[in-house]
């Protein structure tokens, strides 16, 4: 057998090898003890954390329950954000001749920050029911619920208004707009000499910085302390800042009229009710 040859080992390496072989058992015991020491520390910290968690758990639950109870009162939140009830007057019926009737009722929204995006309604007089109509109501605005020229061969004396659908402005929708949206000025009216009608004149100005596709004008005629006539007129394409002369006509016989109330109804919640005017193109010649 050939002798085992050791080549290229320095004296220092031989000394280290000899020391390692003679101290291997002590190194093994040291490393084992070090690992055990680390495990004891880790498990000790974990055990202490678990003990502290279990010890403080009842107190943490009590604090959490107290926070929810004292800061989140859902019933109070609901009450504070519940809109106030709408104020609706009794229904009035106006006979306009030839078996035709106009229905109207006053509606007031007392809420300061919430309007009605869409209110669907109709009138009922026993078995007679008018077509369903819609109206938009701003915060703290009064409008009229109207249904005009309803034909009935049977005399209609009493009626009620039925709210078919109601959609409130959400809390995230803002109505930070100028007031009034539309200004009414220069109101005048002329009764026909024969008493068979009336012409109403007024000017309306759009105070918004936006053009409006539609503005609905409600007109209520009063005489001798009562309502004697009502009407509606839809005006289209009212530009921002525009002041327009408007005329409304009644062709049926009317009692003497002493005063007129005009209410503009604008649907500010529908983005399609706004339009932009194309900018003028200026051509420059060079």
pLDDT surpasses 70 at 5: no
Q: Which residue has the higher pLDDT, 283 or 222?
A: 222
pLDDT surpasses 70 at 28: yes
Triad 279, 237, 231: Cα angle to 5°? 170
Instruction: For residue 160, give both structure tokens.
Output: 């009620």
Please answer whether residues 185 and 262 qualify as being in contact, where contact means their C-beta atoms are separated by less than 8 angstroms.
no
Give the pLDDT score at 71: 54
Give the pLDDT score at 74: 59
Query: Is the overall model pTM greater than 0.85, yes or no?
Result: no
Give the pLDDT score at 55: 81
Q: How far is CA 39 from CA 30, 43, 47, in A?
A: 14, 6, 12
Give the pLDDT score at 117: 94
Q: Which of 226, 222, 171 is nearest to 198 (CA)?
A: 222
**pLDDT 10s digits, 265-276:** 999 999 999 999
What angle do the packed helices 24-71 and 11-22 form, to 10 degrees? Answer: 70
Q: Which residues contact 104 (CB under 8 A, 6 or more apart)?
A: 91, 92, 94, 144, 145, 146, 147, 220, 227, 230
Q: Which of 261, 251, 257 is nearest to 96 (CA)?
A: 251
């Amino acid at each position: 057998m050939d002798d085992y040859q050791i080549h290229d080992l320095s004296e220092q390496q031989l000394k280290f090898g000899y020391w390692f072989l003679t101290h291997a058992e002590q190194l093994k015991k040291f490393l084992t003890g070090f690992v055990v020491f680390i495990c004891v520390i880790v498990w000790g910290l974990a055990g202490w954390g678990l003990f502290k968690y279990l010890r403080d758990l009842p107190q943490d639950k009590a604090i959490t329950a107290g926070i929810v109870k004292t800061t989140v009162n859902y019933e109070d939140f609901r009450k504070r954000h519940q809109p106030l009830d709408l104020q609706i007057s009794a229904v009035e019926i106006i006979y306009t001749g030839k078996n035709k009737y106009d229905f109207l009722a006053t509606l007031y929204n007392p809420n300061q920050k919430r309007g009605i995006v869409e209110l669907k309604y109709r009138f009922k007089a026993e078995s007679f029911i008018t077509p369903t109509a819609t109206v938009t109501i701003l915060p703290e605005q009064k409008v009229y619920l109207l249904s005009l020229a309803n034909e009935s061969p049977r005399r209609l004396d009493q009626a009620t208004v039925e709210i078919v659908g109601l959609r409130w402005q959400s809390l995230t929708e803002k109505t930070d707009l100028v007031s009034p949206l539309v200004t009414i000025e220069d109101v005048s009216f002329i009764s026909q000499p024969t008493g068979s009608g009336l012409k109403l004149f007024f000017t309306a100005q759009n105070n918004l910085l936006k053009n409006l596709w539609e503005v609905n004008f409600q007109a209520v005629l009063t005489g001798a302390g009562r309502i004697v006539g009502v009407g509606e007129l839809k005006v289209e394409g009212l530009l921002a800042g525009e002041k327009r002369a408007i005329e409304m006509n009644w062709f049926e016989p009317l009692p003497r009229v002493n005063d007129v109330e005009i209410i503009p109804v604008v649907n500010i919640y529908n983005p399609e009710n706004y339009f932009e005017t194309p900018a003028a193109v200026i051509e420059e010649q060079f």
